[in-house]
Structure 1
Amino acid sequence: MLYEFSDGKISPVKFFSYQEIFGKEKDLENLLARNMEELFYGEQIMTIFQERSGQQAPDICGLDKDGNLVIFELKREIVSDSTTIQIMRYAQVWGQYDYDALNERYKTWRAKYKVTVQELADAHKKYFELEEPLLRDKFNLTQRLILVGNSADGNLLNAIKYWKSQKLNIDFAPYRFYEIGGQTYFEFFSKPYDIHWNPVSNKAVMFDTCKTYIPDAIWDMFKAHKVSAYGDAIYCVNYLNKGDTVFFYHKGWGIVAAGKITSNNPKDLPENEERYHSVDFLTPIPSPGNELRCLSPAEIKQALGKGFYWARTVKTPYLNEAEAKKLIEMLNDKYNVEFPNPMARE
């Protein structure tokens, strides 16, 4: 809940449902599906299906890294306890699907967008950057149910508490819209707790170079001293702020360069479907034809003692100053150069 704070007192701010702000439930579904990485920060969910109009199916289905099914049911307003019966009915049907059934529905959904359709196992391997595709019999071993709504009535919370006690993996994720000063704000409650980084705090981020879709984009970034995102992913540049450290993550290699964001605001190049921030490099700048030096994912994990969600454009979790400094020094060692205080360079 958001509160107004004044003279040492708090008062709740009025919030709105999606129906009151925009209306269509399908738009709320698209909002969630297109921003899964940001809204469910700290975990990875690969969207594999969205409901078609008039179809009796879950609003959204996804897979986690282990191939387990995540089923979403969305409501524009209050979620009642009867919704638990609805989502469990979907889980009863979809929970029985084997790999072939999931693969068929994934391909049908992807074909709607007229894109190259992969086998589900191959797409899952690519999304989560696994060394080998998951075995077919490892898909859909368990199901996780998530109800999304503006708010919940007491009966729903009691129902979820009961089903949890029966070992059913079910949860409620509330959202709210606010109108403040003529601007619309969206609030989403991550589970089990919100671990988002404060946007105004300087941070260090591993950022994908888009090698999969634009193999030569990295060389344009290095030449122009910038970090860029393209197409549907351009919004990812908005996560970066002046003073942040950015690590250029090149798929199949790892971290190949690092720099500090110098621009106050990102800029757009509409002709390229590109958005970028300017950077000053903290490591040598690679050039085409020369061997790339890199820190592999395995080296990064060993150095920092934790794993990351490599499939995202913005890799999470973010890094603190000490972690970033360590990686910069390691990469500079590979290039046989030394920056005494890389995090302090302007």
Structure 2
Amino acid sequence: MSELFRIENGALVRAARSRLANEAMIQDWVRDNLGLVGIHGVVIGREVMIANRGRIDLLAMDKDGSLIIIELKRDRTPREIVAQVLDYASWVVSLSTRDVHALCLEKTGRTLDEVYRERFSVPPPDTLNASHQMMIVAGSMDETTTRIIEYLSEVHGVGINVAFFNVFEDQGVQWLSTDTLLEQEEVAERATRSTRAPWSGYWYLTAGAESDVPWEDLRRHGYVVASGGKWYSDGLARLKVGDRVFFYQKNTGYLGHGVVRSEMQPADDFLIADGRPLVEAVPRGYFTEFGDDPEKRAYVIGIDWKKTVDRSNAKTYSGIFANQNIACKIYDEKTVEFLVREFGLDREGEN
């Protein structure tokens, strides 16, 4: 159970637990900032009515097009709220891509394309609701219900989690702390396993348009760059040294295979092979434009390219896997088999 302390004269003074005058504020806060419950997404509906079942407090979508039910516990028992969100999920799973577009327009008065682009700066995925998740917002959960949720998520891959909102009061000021029962990224990952093939072991990487991020720069100096906001740079942050990647350029195709040699760092800190700063070797304005803003500044990862091709020899075919994310895991086996063959790789030895 969360506690909050004030430090006074070198001693800890525990803040008393408190209650909000109006718990409906929590729904407003979560709607305006899904990060409070560990979700990177956008709200597409509030108070979504379901015939003979009730209404979903908030319905959100993550960047992969998965729907997320967010439900406040209020005065329901832990078991009641778990049963409720599972019932809601049995309805959500039936929504088609067309249904999701229509629901967003009905509940927000805006098209899904507008809502999604405002958050992610790219169009939404072509296929929506391939998987779904559930997030319960509560002050606490009893041990039995906690075990049930952990069992559903960790053993059976059900995308269910709990976000804890705890209110404290000290010297007339209220404070709010938030936490989740399980790591939300892991919950989302488990929830999608049953809807797609196992991970291939390869990562997909992309960058800006050729006019902004020339392939020859990336190829010659061994890096991939992301700038313009955390949604872009957070993708690069997922990659670790030794990860195997394929690089894709929009409207061109796959241009290279390599291995991550250095993890994400600010562009103006990155040194190329001859020891020079990248910003001197490749004088691009966006490398330093937001140098004082940790969210908007440009970040790079170092890549040891194993096999590359010119843009005129890009590897592609109709329907090959591509994604709006800067970095993501490749699950499409047809794409992987094609790239392994075209780049002359041995999936075991990576020749």
Q: Aligning the two structures, in what range does the TM-score lie when normalised by the shorter sequence? A: 0.5 to 0.7
1:151 counterpart = 2:149: no
Q: How does 1:1-346 map to 2 (within 5 A)?
A: 1-4=2-5, 13-16=15-18, 20-25=19-24, 27-36=25-34, 38-40=35-37, 44-51=40-47, 56-76=54-74, 80-111=78-109, 117-118=110-111, 120-121=112-113, 123-125=115-117, 127-130=119-122, 133-135=124-126, 138-164=127-153, 165-190=155-180, 192=182, 310=229, 316=234, 323=266, 325-326=268-269, 330-331=278-279
Whether contact under 8 Å (2:62, 2:68) holds in the other structure is yes
Q: CA 1:185–1:333 in structure 2 vs 1: closer, same or farther (change >3 Å)?
A: farther
Q: CA 1:194–1:63 in structure 2 vs 1: closer, same or farther (change >3 Å)?
A: closer
Amino acid at match of 1:98: S
Q: Deviations over 1:44-67 (max 9, x none)?
A: 211111116998221111111111
Amino acid at match of 2:3: L
Q: Report the CA distance between 1:172 and its aligned residue.
A: 0.9
d(CA) in 1 for partners of 2:284 and 2:158?
A: 54
Q: Deviations over 1:269-293 (max 9, x none)?
A: xxxxxxxxxxxxxxxxxxxxxxxx9
How many residue pairs match? The answer is 231
Q: Report the CA distance between 1:318 and its aligned residue.
A: 11
Q: Report the CA distance between 1:162 and its aligned residue.
A: 3.2
Structure 1 gaps of 5+ residues are 112-116, 196-251, 254-292
Q: Deviations over 1:197-219 (max 9, x none)?
A: xxxxxxxxxxxxxxxxxxxxxxx
Q: Report the CA distance between 1:78 and its aligned residue.
A: 7.5
Q: CA 1:336–1:177 in structure 2 vs 1: closer, same or farther (change >3 Å)?
A: closer
- The two structures have a TM-score, normalised by structure 1, of 0.52
Amino acid at match of 2:160: I
Q: CA 1:133–1:102 in structure 2 vs 1: closer, same or farther (change >3 Å)?
A: closer
% identical equivalent positions: 15
Q: CA 1:169–1:334 in structure 2 vs 1: closer, same or farther (change >3 Å)?
A: same
d(CA) in 2 for partners of 1:47 and 1:309?
A: 22
Structure 2 gaps of 5+ residues are 186-207, 238-262, 272-276, 293-351
RMSD: 4.7
- The two structures have a TM-score, normalised by structure 2, of 0.51
Whether contact under 8 Å (1:128, 1:309) holds in the other structure is no
Q: Deviations over 1:256-315 (max 9, x none)?
A: xxxxxxxxxxxxxxxxxxxxxxxxxxxxxxxxxxxxx9779xx89x97768689476x97
d(CA) in 2 for partners of 1:317 and 1:191?
A: 23
Whether contact under 8 Å (1:173, 1:189) holds in the other structure is yes
Counterpart of 2:315? Answer: none
Amino acid at match of 1:186: L
Amino acid at match of 2:21: F
Q: CA 1:29–1:162 in structure 2 vs 1: closer, same or farther (change >3 Å)?
A: same
d(CA) in 2 for partners of 1:79 and 1:174?
A: 15
Whether contact under 8 Å (1:128, 1:310) holds in the other structure is no
Amino acid at match of 2:134: L
Whether contact under 8 Å (2:72, 2:136) holds in the other structure is yes
Amino acid at match of 1:162: Y
Q: Secondary structure at the match of 2:130?
A: coil
d(CA) in 1 for partners of 2:157 and 2:284?
A: 55
d(CA) in 1 for partners of 2:156 and 2:132?
A: 14
